[in-house]
A and B are shown apart, each in its own frame.
Chain A
Amino acid sequence: MADVALRGVSKSYGNVDVIHDVSLDVEQGEFVVFVGPSGCGKSTLLRMIAGLEEVTQGDVLIGGARVNDTAARDRGVAMVFQNYALYPHMSVRENMAFGLRNIGTPRTEIDSRIAKAAEILQLDSYLDRKPRAMSGGQRQRVAIGRAIVREPDVFLFDEPLSNLDAALRVQMRTEIARIHHRLGATMIYVTHDQTEAMTMADRIVVLRAGVIEQVGAPLDLYERPANLFVAGFLGSPKMNFLPGRITAAQGPEVQVEVAGGVRLPARVRPGSAAAGDTVTLGLRPEMLQVHPDGPLRGHVDVVEQLGHVQLVYATLPDRTAIVAELRDRRPPAVGTDIPLAPGPGLRHVFDAQGLAITLPEEVPA
């Protein structure tokens, strides 16, 4: 087990800069998830840690030692790939044994480690099968098993679940979390699925265009996004963004005028906004409620019935599209106008640069 650190790491392909000056510390035993949209450089960052990609600038440290010039195989990391990358001509057992044989691990030791991994992953009865005779979920388990038997200091996962169907994905998600608890190893996990990030991570690293947008515990990021991008990326459905203007500011208390004249109170960090500033108001879909006195008039466009909740897609008078997540078995009809009110919960405020100026609520201890 070891910690991982990135110090001002950059990566360019020719003159295309893909990663810009990324610094990050991952603690021993931590489960860190990299999320971000496609092409933002998650895989590149992970592969630089693995040693599969050269670092253009900066340092990668594993267990405190600089590993920039260390070959991938000597870094003590194991990686699980999106397409599993199992050796198709080897049985499950041979797949797991390959790495151990290459470093001359004694036979008995190999066998006992495989037995242990197979037990953790419930692969006992498949050990002599070839990967081609297995399902996607089973293959992914083998890929994880191949990483486990090596007893690496750091586990790296590159979108390991994205080739699986939705149900299996949920199952494997908990399984990986379980393995993390059991082994207590450092794990870095790449995904573009914010649900995976929210559910699995000790800490989430949000990346955009090769830059770290924010790092923090899942709930931290959900409740205190540093900017519009993070706010929009985490949470499903997405946070509603209402363009607006500050009409009055007194200490932390401000009035934000949105949707053509509706004034909503909010709290910002003192001194971060003045009357007349252009801002964006962020309201999570689950805090919107239908209320007779609701100030926001929404014209209902689409209603999605999910059973436990209903997603109502509506348009405000200023043509802003919003989503409300209602818990009302009899949702409004399409084409009607409904009054919406922001219920209790944090109203996020972002300044003209998109940075959050919301006054954070005191976190209950």
Chain B
Amino acid sequence: MTASPQARSVPLAEPRTRAPRHRVRRRDWLTALLFLAPFMAVYLVLLVYPLFLGIWISFRDWDLMGGDYGWVGTLNYQDLWTDRNFWAAARNTLWFVALTVPSMTLIALLLALAVHGPGRIRAICRSVFFLSSVFSVTVVTLVWAMVLSPDRGLIAPVVQFLGGTPVNFLGSPTWAMPAIVVTTLWWGVGLPMALFLAALGSIPKELYEAAELDHASRWSVFWRITLPSIRHTLILVVVLQIVGQFQIFGQPFLMTQGGPANSTRTLVQYIYETSFRDWLVGYGAAMAMVLFVLMMLFSMLQLWLGRQGDDR
């Protein structure tokens, strides 16, 4: 049925070619190379290479001035095993992550739900909750060290007014970590809230309208429509938070210097001190690798749990 009676005859001598386009293709590669080169150069030199250099250093006795005292095998890692300070730092870090990640996620979600929607007032509230995350860690810790201060702070007078005795939060081994958590929440809730806002904004309005016609209560709308629709964002937020909060350093370093009684010294601070105060860069690198692996494990676990939910 390909008959096309009116199609004009074609000279058959014309060779049918397989269209080799070498010239054109080569030029495409070259263009792509030029576009990619700047990023790949910095990426390989300043991220990939250092990662492997870090692994290599972690198997050596290496000091801060670049002094390399040779291969020590897994000695650095073995030392970690018996280093009580390391375990304390790991415990503090995990404790901080365990306190921060769920509360951060929950608060971010609640705030997003509260400020999502039209109107000037909500828009201003959105800005306010996000504003605190543009400050630098130095400023945030300065502000909160003041707020929490037992004699010059903001909380103490309120407690006194209510008839209580002000607590020296940052001076107490029990309360120092929660105080740092609160500081972190205030500082960091903006980004996860914005993520939730973006997700809430992309839920089709029709879903809510249909639910309304079905006389769904607000509560069931939340559980049946809103939450399932933002599930992927929820997982994303949790993973980002885990990765982010494991790296905690500035807040305790500036607010408590790791104290009181080492109750807030975190892994990164210990890595920093080991390397830059004690000059044991090889040992610090080994710890950095352990931290890296820990973070990977936890975020993988979280992603995996998220997948499980997908199958149901």
Interfacial residues, chain A to chain B (CB-CB below 8 A): 5, 7-8, 20-21, 23-25, 54-59, 68-69, 71, 203, 211-216, 220, 226-227, 229, 353-355
In the complex, the answer to whether B10 meets A211 with C-beta atoms within 8 Å is no
Q: How far is the CB of A62 from chain B (nearest CB, A)?
A: 14
The reply to whether the CB of B217 lies closer than 8 angstroms to some CB of chain A is no
Q: How far is the CA of A212 from the CA of B24 in the complex (A)?
A: 30
In the complex, the answer to whether A56 meets B6 with C-beta atoms within 8 Å is no
Q: How far is the CB of B299 from chain A (nearest CB, A)?
A: 36
- The listed residue with most A CB atoms (<10 A of its CB), out of B1, B3, B14, B24, is B1
Main secondary structure of the interface of A (DSSP, over half): strand
- Excluding A56-B19, A227-B1, 14 further A-B contacts by CB distance (< 8 Å) are A7-B10, A8-B10, A21-B2, A23-B7, A24-B4, A25-B8, A54-B19, A57-B16, A57-B19, A59-B16, A211-B2, A212-B2, A215-B7, A216-B5
Contact status of A58 and B16, CB under 8 A, knowing A211-B1, A214-B6: yes
Contact status of A215 and B1, CB under 8 A, knowing A7-B10, A25-B10: no
Chain B hits for A227, CB < 8 A: 1
Interfacial residues, chain B to chain A (CB-CB below 8 A): 1-8, 10, 14-21, 23-24
Q: How far is the CA of A59 from the CA of B19 in the complex (A)?
A: 8
Closest residue of chain A to B7 (Cβ to Cβ) is A215
Q: How far is the CB of A110 from chain B (nearest CB, A)?
A: 27
Contact status of A212 and B23, CB under 8 A, knowing A57-B18, A58-B16: no
Q: How far is the CA of A220 from the CA of B7 in the complex (A)?
A: 13
In the complex, the answer to whether B5 meets A69 with C-beta atoms within 8 Å is no
Closest residue of chain B to A27 (Cβ to Cβ) is B8
Jot down 28 A-B pairs with beta carbons below 8 A, ordered by A.
A5-B10, A8-B10, A8-B16, A20-B2, A21-B2, A23-B10, A24-B4, A55-B19, A56-B19, A57-B16, A57-B17, A57-B19, A58-B16, A59-B15, A59-B16, A59-B17, A68-B17, A69-B19, A69-B23, A71-B24, A211-B2, A212-B4, A213-B4, A214-B4, A220-B6, A226-B3, A226-B4, A353-B1
Q: How far is the CA of A25 from the CA of B6 in the complex (A)?
A: 10
Chain A hits for B21, CB < 8 A: 54, 68-69
Contact status of A69 and B1, CB under 8 A, knowing A7-B10, A56-B19: no
Q: How far is the CA of A8 from the CA of B3 in the complex (A)?
A: 14
Chain B hits for A20, CB < 8 A: 2
Contact status of A213 and B1, CB under 8 A, knowing A23-B7, A25-B8, A69-B23: yes
In the complex, the answer to whether A216 meets B1 with C-beta atoms within 8 Å is no
Q: How far is the CB of A360 from chain B (nearest CB, A)?
A: 11
Chain B hits for A58, CB < 8 A: 16-17
In the complex, the answer to whether A355 meets B1 with C-beta atoms within 8 Å is yes
In the complex, the answer to whether B19 meets A215 with C-beta atoms within 8 Å is no
Q: How far is the CB of B232 from chain A (nearest CB, A)?
A: 30
Closest residue of chain B to A23 (Cβ to Cβ) is B10
Q: How far is the CA of A226 from the CA of B1 in the complex (A)?
A: 9
In the complex, the answer to whether A212 meets B7 with C-beta atoms within 8 Å is yes
Q: How far is the CA of A7 from the CA of B5 in the complex (A)?
A: 16
In the complex, the answer to whether B16 meets A215 with C-beta atoms within 8 Å is no
Q: How far is the CA of A220 from the CA of B6 in the complex (A)?
A: 10
In the complex, the answer to whether B16 meets A24 with C-beta atoms within 8 Å is no
Tally of A-B Cβ pairs under 8 angstroms: 68
Contact status of A7 and B16, CB under 8 A, knowing A211-B2, A214-B6: yes
Chain B hits for A211, CB < 8 A: 1-2
Chain A hits for B20, CB < 8 A: 69
Q: How far is the CB of B18 from chain A (nearest CB, A)?
A: 7
Q: How far is the CA of A69 from the CA of B18 in the complex (A)?
A: 11
Chain B hits for A21, CB < 8 A: 2
In the complex, the answer to whether B24 meets A226 with C-beta atoms within 8 Å is no
Q: How far is the CA of A59 from the CA of B14 in the complex (A)?
A: 8
Task: Return the contact of A214 from the options B5, B23, B24 (Cβ within 8 A).
Answer: B5
Closest residue of chain A to B2 (Cβ to Cβ) is A211
In the complex, the answer to whether B6 meets A215 with C-beta atoms within 8 Å is yes
Q: How far is the CA of A56 from the CA of B18 in the complex (A)?
A: 6
Q: How far is the CB of A43 from chain B (nearest CB, A)?
A: 19
Chain B hits for A203, CB < 8 A: 6
Q: How far is the CA of A220 from the CA of B5 in the complex (A)?
A: 11
Closest residue of chain B to A58 (Cβ to Cβ) is B16
Chain B hits for A23, CB < 8 A: 4, 7, 10
Closest residue of chain A to B25 (Cβ to Cβ) is A54
Q: How far is the CA of A20 from the CA of B1 in the complex (A)?
A: 12
Q: How far is the CA of A90 from the CA of B132 in the complex (A)?
A: 38
Q: How far is the CA of A213 from the CA of B3 in the complex (A)?
A: 7
Contact status of A354 and B14, CB under 8 A, knowing A23-B7, A71-B24: no
Q: How far is the CB of B266 from chain A (nearest CB, A)?
A: 48
Q: How far is the CA of A4 from the CA of B276 in the complex (A)?
A: 73
Closest residue of chain A to B8 (Cβ to Cβ) is A25
Q: How far is the CB of A222 from chain B (nearest CB, A)?
A: 14
Q: How far is the CB of A45 from chain B (nearest CB, A)?
A: 14
Q: How far is the CA of A227 from the CA of B7 in the complex (A)?
A: 16
Q: How far is the CA of A226 from the CA of B16 in the complex (A)?
A: 28
Chain A hits for B18, CB < 8 A: 57
Chain A hits for B6, CB < 8 A: 203, 214-216, 220
In the complex, the answer to whether A25 meets B7 with C-beta atoms within 8 Å is yes
Q: How far is the CA of A193 from the CA of B6 in the complex (A)?
A: 22
Q: How far is the CA of A199 from the CA of B80 in the complex (A)?
A: 83
- The listed residue with most B CB atoms (<10 A of its CB), out of A56, A59, A229, is A59
Across the A-B interface, the 5 shortest Cβ-Cβ residue pairs: A25-B8, A216-B6, A215-B6, A215-B4, A212-B4
Q: How far is the CA of A247 from the CA of B252 in the complex (A)?
A: 100
Chain A hits for B2, CB < 8 A: 20-21, 211-213
Chain B hits for A229, CB < 8 A: 1
Chain B hits for A25, CB < 8 A: 7-8, 10
Q: How far is the CA of A214 from the CA of B16 in the complex (A)?
A: 23
In the complex, the answer to whether B7 meets A354 with C-beta atoms within 8 Å is no
Q: How far is the CB of A212 from chain B (nearest CB, A)?
A: 5
Q: How far is the CA of A68 from the CA of B18 in the complex (A)?
A: 10
Contact status of A7 and B1, CB under 8 A, knowing A57-B19, A68-B19, A215-B7: no
Q: How far is the CB of A39 from chain B (nearest CB, A)?
A: 18
Chain B hits for A226, CB < 8 A: 3-5
